[in-house]
Amino acid sequence: MALRMTENHTELSFRYMRIEGRKEKLLDFLLRKFRYLDREEWLENIREKRLTVDGRNADPFQLLKDHQKILYLRPDFLEPEVDSSFDKIFEDDFLVAFNKPGNLPTSPSGKYYKNTLVNLAKKKYGWKKLFTLHRLDRETSGVILFAKQKKTAQKMAEMFREQQTRKFYKAILENSLPADDVIVSMPIGSDPKSSIRIKQGVQFEGRPCTTHFHLLKNLDKRCLVGIRPMTGRTHQIRVHAHYIGCPVTGDKLYGLADDGFLNWLEEGQSYLDQLNFPVSRQLLHAMEITFTHPESKEALTIHADDSKMLQMIPN
């Protein structure tokens, strides 16, 4: 898929290929490929002539052929609002780090293209390129690191692969930890019992995964913990916290049943209000990252203030 950002739109274009030769209508393809919009929303986009197939206005029921070019011209007003109050906490000629707020995607994906940390930072500071080195979930706040140069990005990518970086998080968890120190060494993979594609779970066929939880303070029905992930799997902290019966406070994916999560996607905050859900975002914060600078070879630890997250702890 190719992505091009213009003044008032984001252009998404791609070449279609059938799966195992099966015939597919355009509307069915869009619903399969881009699950963040429903049937009526895609039909509205087609009626507004925002989609073309091989340069012609799209028909939702046309059968697609291999190699056809599909273009989606998405207006900026369809992109959800975000919290753009990120702070620069480290910068040199090679790297830059930010303290990311709790409602801001790292990079373009799903519903978000322009309203992402990487694009907003480039626009704010006038950078033409910024290389993503790792990601934080949209609702996870805290320190996140980018490279300014491709050569530096390649060196840092190898360090992440070889687990030569260390991360420390804080979180508010539901309930109390079963002990002051809990080490969870359970493999993680896609949850076959869930209808939600992105959901992970403890799976014995999954990838090895270890997380260390340390109690910092008990908070009545919740607790404040420090967390060191020893590996870097998708949703690792959130999955392991749920596994020990202490989901991250505010986590919709792992703190609600599947139907509750889907209802939240459809209805938004009003659905959470009906449930008296404790907080609007998951209370997980990346406190620090430690690594050896790829160019200067200096040992670095970059910290991100967590006061905004702590102010959101429910009573």
Q: How far apart are CA 129 and CA 109, in angstroms?
A: 18
DSSP string computed for 147-205? ESSHHHHHHHHHHHHTT--EEEEEEEEES--SSSEEEEE--EEE-TT-S-TT-EEE-TT
Number of H helices, E strands in the chain: 9, 17
Q: Which two tokens stand for residue 221?
A: 């029905």
Residue 78: how many CB atoms within 10 A of its CB? 15
* C-beta separation of 221 from 211 below 8 A: no
**Interacting residues of 300 by C-beta distance below 8 A, sequence separation 6+:** 90, 290, 291, 292, 293
76 part of the active site: no
76, 83, 137, 306: the catalytic one is 137
Residue 284: how many CB atoms within 10 A of its CB? 26
* C-beta separation of 231 from 210 below 8 A: yes
Catalytic residues: 137
